[in-house]
């Protein structure tokens, strides 16, 4: 556990997969973590972070960026359309483009601000009715619709179903990205990032294994 340990395990997984050291970007998912834990990781020299909530990220990162201007911030949580403007202003990458209405809002914000965060299309590889994401069958059509909006995604993202073997989902995502000619794959979390690296992840999103368990406080 901790940044050093995860970095070591990531380097080993890259090597096992025959990939170059540093081929995979480690996104340290700092959502809900107490500020002192995040500061520790910043002070250890890590600069790539992921957040799930626009409001929470807005409250923390503009200040920290004054001290660490080279921080790279990734939005990995579900994004409400009415937060698209703020998200484009704050984040360097958005991993959760999952519907056309959001694409339209993002396109407007990109135009207005002249800022283009890297985009990932979230794919619902498990066909789960409650989960966000484009269905695999509908991905080519969705990507076609993005083109005239000048939204060029860098890659695809998935969250495999809980309790399922993630490997087939990572494989499906890789195949979909290959077919679409997209270079980036955002897949793998604390419990399965080594599998994701073996399957070609370019971005892994690791929270609790770096920072410790998240404490969401007493249930409402």
Ligand X SMILES: *Cc1c(COP(=O)(O)O)cnc(C)c1O
Distance CA 12, CA 145 (A): 39
Q: Which is nearer to ligand X, 42 or 187 (CB)?
A: 187
- Can you spell out the DSSP letters for 140-170? HHHHHHHGGGT----EEE--PPTTS-SHHHH
Closest CA to 23 of 11, 33, 8: 11
Long-range Cβ contacts of 80-88 (<8 Å, 24+ apart): 80/54, 81/105, 83/54, 84/108, 84/109, 85/109, 85/112, 85/113, 86/54, 86/58, 87/54, 87/117, 88/113, 88/115, 88/117
Cβ at position 189, least distance to ligand X in Å: 4
Q: Which is nearer to ligand X, 96 or 174 (CB)?
A: 96
Q: Which is nearer to ligand X, 136 or 159 (CB)?
A: 159
Cβ at position 166, least distance to ligand X in Å: 12
Q: Which residue minimizes CB distance to ligand X?
A: 207
Cβ at position 172, least distance to ligand X in Å: 17
Q: Which is nearer to ligand X, 108 or 190 (CB)?
A: 190
Hey, is 127 helix, strand or coil? coil
Residues forming the site for ligand X (CB under 6 A): 29, 31, 52, 76-77, 159, 189-190, 205-209
Cβ at position 50, least distance to ligand X in Å: 7
Neighbours of 194 (CB within 10 A): 18
Cβ at position 114, least distance to ligand X in Å: 28
Q: Which is nearer to ligand X, 112 or 200 (CB)?
A: 200
């Amino acid at each position: 556990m901790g940044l050093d340990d995860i970095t070591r395990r990531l380097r080993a997984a890259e090597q096992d997969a025959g990939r170059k050291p540093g081929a995979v970007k480690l996104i340290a998912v700092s959502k809900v973590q107490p500020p002192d834990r995040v500061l520790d990781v910043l002070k250890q020299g890590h600069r790539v972070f992921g957040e799930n909530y626009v409001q929470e990220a807005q409250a923390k990162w503009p200040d920290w960026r004054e001290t660490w201007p080279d921080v790279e911030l990734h939005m990995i949580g579900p994004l409400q359309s009415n937060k698209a403007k703020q998200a484009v202003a704050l984040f360097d990458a958005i991993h959760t483009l999952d519907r056309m209405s959001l694409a339209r809002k993002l396109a407007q914000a990109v135009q207005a601000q002249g800022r283009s965060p890297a985009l990932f299309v979230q794919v619902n590889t498990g066909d789960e009715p409650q989960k966000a994401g484009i269905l695999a069958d509908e991905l080519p059509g969705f990507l076609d619709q993005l083109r005239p909006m000048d939204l060029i995604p860098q890659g695809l993202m998935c969250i495999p179903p809980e309790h399922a073997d993630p490997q087939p989902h990572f494989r499906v995502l890789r195949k979909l990205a290959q077919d679409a000619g997209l270079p980036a794959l955002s897949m793998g979390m604390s419990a399965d990032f080594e599998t994701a690296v073996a399957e070609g992840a370019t971005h892994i999103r690791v929270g609790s294994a770096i920072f410790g368990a998240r404490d969401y406080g007493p249930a409402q």
